[in-house]
Amino acid sequence: MKENSVKVIGIKDEPRKDAHLSYLEKEDGLKVVLSSDFDEWSNFDSWESISVQQWIFSRALEVYKGKKIDIKCDCCDYVDSLQNNFENIKKEKCYGKKSAYMIEKVFDEIVSAKERRDSDGTYSS
């Protein structure tokens, strides 16, 4: 994923002018999923809410198509930065950062699936 493709912004942060703005509070059920234990919420395929999965997948697809996304969380006043490696994501409390992590995971799966299709026309490894 390109650097700066997804940025998490807080309540008082201004969105980037060249980015699509997505509001976490408008997606019912996302916070419920992201409030569970890391092993549960980090397993995208196990999510029971199709609409929440679709929200994450749609953001990942937008990034795949080259768009920038600002995720406006409502749990932080300001978000100073987003780590690229998500090394401490298990301890993270911010729903925006957790969402960005999931968007990156799904983005990586989209890229991987495309590479497999392009290499031999199937999804098999």
What's phi and psi for 80, nearest 5 deg?
Answer: -75, -35
| pLDDT tens track for 60-112 | 999 999 999 999 988 888 886 655 557 788 888 899 999 999 999 999 999 99
Residues in Cβ contact with 117 at an 8 Å cutoff, skipping those fewer than 6 apart: 123
| pLDDT band, very low/low/confident/very high, at 53 (cuts 50, 70, 90) | very high
Over 90: is that where the pLDDT of 3 sits? no
DSSP secondary structure letters along 24-68: GGGSTTHHHHHTS-HHHHT-GGG-S-HHHHHHHHHHHHHHHTT-E
Residue 80 CA to chain centroid, in angstroms?
17
**Residue 95: closest CA among 22, 5, 35, 12:** 35
| pTM for this model (two decimals) | 0.86
| pLDDT tens track for 11-49 | 999 999 999 999 998 888 999 999 999 999 999 999 999
pLDDT of residue 108: 94
| pLDDT band, very low/low/confident/very high, at 115 (cuts 50, 70, 90) | confident
What does the domain layout of the chain look like in residue ranges?
A: 6-118
pLDDT of residue 64: 95
pLDDT of residue 21: 94
| pLDDT band, very low/low/confident/very high, at 123 (cuts 50, 70, 90) | low
